Amino acid sequence: MSERVIPLVDQRLKIRPAVVPATPVAASGLLGDTLGRPLRDLRISVTDRCNFRCSYCMPKSIFDKDYPYLPHNALLSFEEITRIARVFVAHGVQKIRLTGGEPLLRKNIEILIEQLAELRTVEGKPLDITLTTNGSLLERKARQLREAGLKRVTVSLDGLDDAVFRAMNDVDFPVADVLRGIDAAHEAGLGPVKINMVVKRGTNDHEILPMARHFKGRGAVLRFIEYMDVGATNGWRMDEVLPSAEVVSRIHDELPLVQLDPSAPGETAERWGYADGSGEIGVISSVTQAFCSDCNRARLSTEGRLYLCLFATEGHDLKHLLRGGASDADLASAVAAIWQGRDDRYSELRASLPPDQGQGARRIEMSYIGG
Ligand code: SAM
Ligand code: SF4
Ligand code: SF4
């Protein structure tokens, strides 16, 4: 019998302790990295577990019953997350996205949302708090989440056809339950709900038009994401990527579209509106059109490691500072030093990287760091 190999364990070993610089850096909300990019968006992963096994994210062959998920004491507590979030907000973060794994599996997540909702941006405004979910628990939880202070929700949905959806989540989860979750989110006031569809050529690209027809005119924003070479376990191949330009042209042929202005600097989605005014769609072209030049996103892992890029090979350990008696000023200085040293722009470099840094590199998994 062949021995089982778990390449992901490596990702947790490649860490750098976050260091408090000798000269303190006070938070001014004006932090810039080496390319002058500000820090505006923090994505927080609250669990590395999930009840789905999407093949492009947590393939069953690796994420089986023996997979070494993080033990509970390795996870940041809600108080620790809120403390770090406060530091990031002082450095200029305006938007927080909770993700995972499946964030709604984290027990009492609404308590964390309540704590984050109390934070204020440098300008004194409430944060834009949102969450990305597979929707499986949304029908049950939407109202509670809204009451806790969540503003909006993004639901991942890779097709409307029940057989295609069940095959893609690989746990036989019915699409009807997710659709009910989306309705519950609308009713709870978590709209406009964004729907994320990862498009894999030959697997679900025939679902593009049915999805567009279904969500058109319903107040939801459907976004098509190019299948990415994130992580090291999904067996990514370029020929399975359907370029966003083709998604747009397929929809435009039946439902005419006009291009819209971006909603905010650093926005990942290119926006297109239906010519008849009945709503909009978005395309996220992470593979065919890099948007690193204004990438203002930082990612905090479930166990308190800071990643500066979705394709990072190394994380900065903030937990040892948090649990080692560092003051908020120490934390702020450490985060500033890390962000000021950031030069990541993987998507821009993808094609020109040598194999050991490009597709062959061992990188963090999407389920570990979220989207
Ligand atoms: N479990 C939640 C969900 O599925 O919405 C949150 C975490 S999931 C990792 C966040 C997003 O990443 C989802 O929209 C998912 O479709 C997307 N994603 C995961 N692997 C991907 C890949 N290889 N390429 C593109 N998007 C991916
Ligand atoms: Fe789970 Fe989301 Fe990854 Fe699918 S994409 S396996 S739902 S974490
Ligand atoms: Fe940002 Fe990295 Fe993605 Fe570029 S590749 S947009 S730097 S997360």
Distances (CA, A) of 317 to 16, 23, 72, 104: 6, 20, 17, 25
Distance 268 CA to ligand 3 centre (A): 10
**Which numbered ligand comes closest to the C-alpha of 291?**
3
**Which numbered ligand comes closest to the C-alpha of 225?**
1
Q: What is the DSSP string of 249-294?
A: HHHHHHS-EEE---SSTT--SEEEEETTSS-EEEEE-TTTS--GGG
User: Average model confidence (pLDDT) for the chain?
Assistant: 91
Question: How much is the average pLDDT of 307-335?
Answer: 94
* Cβ–ligand 2 contact at 100 (below 6 Å): yes
Task: Look at residue 94 and tell me if it is in a domain.
Answer: yes
Task: Put residue 172 in one of left, alpha, beta given phi > 0 → left and psi -120 to 50 → alpha.
Answer: left
Question: Which is it for the CA torsion 95, 101, 105, 106, positive or negative?
Answer: negative
pLDDT, position 358: 60
pLDDT, position 262: 87
| Model pLDDT for residues 134-157, shown as the tens digit of each residue | 999 999 999 999 999 999 999 999
Q: Tokens 């993700």 identify what position?
A: 99
Distance CA 156, CA 277 (A): 24
341: Cβ contacts below 8 Å, ≥ 6 apart: 33, 34
User: Among 54-68, 111-125, 166-180, whose mean pLDDT is lowest?
Assistant: 54-68
**Closest C-alpha residue for ligand 1 atom 10:** 371
Distance 131 CA to ligand 2 centre (A): 13
Helices (H), the chain: 9-13, 78-90, 109-117, 138-148, 162-169, 175-188, 208-215, 244-254, 319-322, 328-340, 346-349, 366-369
Task: Tell whether the model's pLDDT for residue 189 goes beyond 50.
Answer: yes
Mutation test residue for ligand 2: of 53, 133, 156, the one with most atoms within 8 Å of CB = 156
CA-nearest of 211, 209, 228 to 157 is: 211
Q: What is the DSSP string of 146-158?
A: HHHT--EEEEE--
pLDDT, position 359: 57
Distance 173 CA to ligand 2 centre (A): 12
Task: Look at residue 320 and tell me if it is in a domain.
Answer: yes
pTM above 0.75, yes or no: yes
Distance CA 41, CA 199 (A): 25
Task: Look at residue 125 and tell me if it is in a domain.
Answer: yes
Instruction: List the Cα angle 36/40/41 in 5-degree steps.
Output: 125
**Which numbered ligand comes closest to the C-alpha of 227?**
1
CA-nearest of 369, 370, 367, 371 to 63 is: 367
Say which amino acid occupies 216.
Answer: K
Domain count across the chain: 1
358: Cβ contacts below 8 Å, ≥ 6 apart: 350
In a 13 Å sphere around the CA of 347, the CA atoms on its Cβ side amount to 20
Task: Look at residue 256 and tell me if it is in a domain.
Answer: yes
**pLDDT over 90 percentage in the chain:** 77
| Model pLDDT for residues 65-74, shown as the tens digit of each residue | 999 999 999 9
Taking the CB of residue 65, how many other CB atoms lie within 10 A of it? Answer: 4
CATH number at residue 84: 3.20.20.70
Task: Look at residue 288 and tell me if it is in a domain.
Answer: yes
- The residue segments making up the domain with residue 18 are 11-369
CA-nearest of 204, 203, 192 to 282 is: 192
User: Among 172-176, 250-254, 301-305, 310-314, whose mean pLDDT is lowest?
Assistant: 310-314
* Cβ–ligand 1 contact at 365 (below 6 Å): no
| Per-residue pLDDT band at 364 (split at 50, 70, 90) | confident
Task: Put residue 190 in one of left, alpha, beta given phi > 0 → left and psi -120 to 50 → alpha.
Answer: alpha
Task: Look at residue 222 and tell me if it is in a domain.
Answer: yes
Q: Tokens 């999805």 identify what position?
A: 211
**Which numbered ligand comes closest to the C-alpha of 231?**
1
Mutation test residue for ligand 3: of 292, 343, 350, 364, the one with most atoms within 8 Å of CB = 292
Task: Look at residue 2 and tell me if it is in a domain.
Answer: no
* Cβ–ligand 1 contact at 371 (below 6 Å): yes
Task: Look at residue 6 and tell me if it is in a domain.
Answer: no
Distance 52 CA to ligand 2 centre (A): 6
Distance CA 5, CA 7 (A): 6
Task: Tell whether the model's pLDDT for residue 356 goes beyond 80.
Answer: no
DSSP label of 77: P
- 333, 25 in Cβ contact below 8 A? yes
SS3 197: strand
Distance 363 CA to ligand 3 centre (A): 13
pLDDT, position 4: 43
Distance 33 CA to ligand 1 centre (A): 26
Pairing between strand 305-307 and 297-300? antiparallel
Distance 281 CA to ligand 3 centre (A): 22
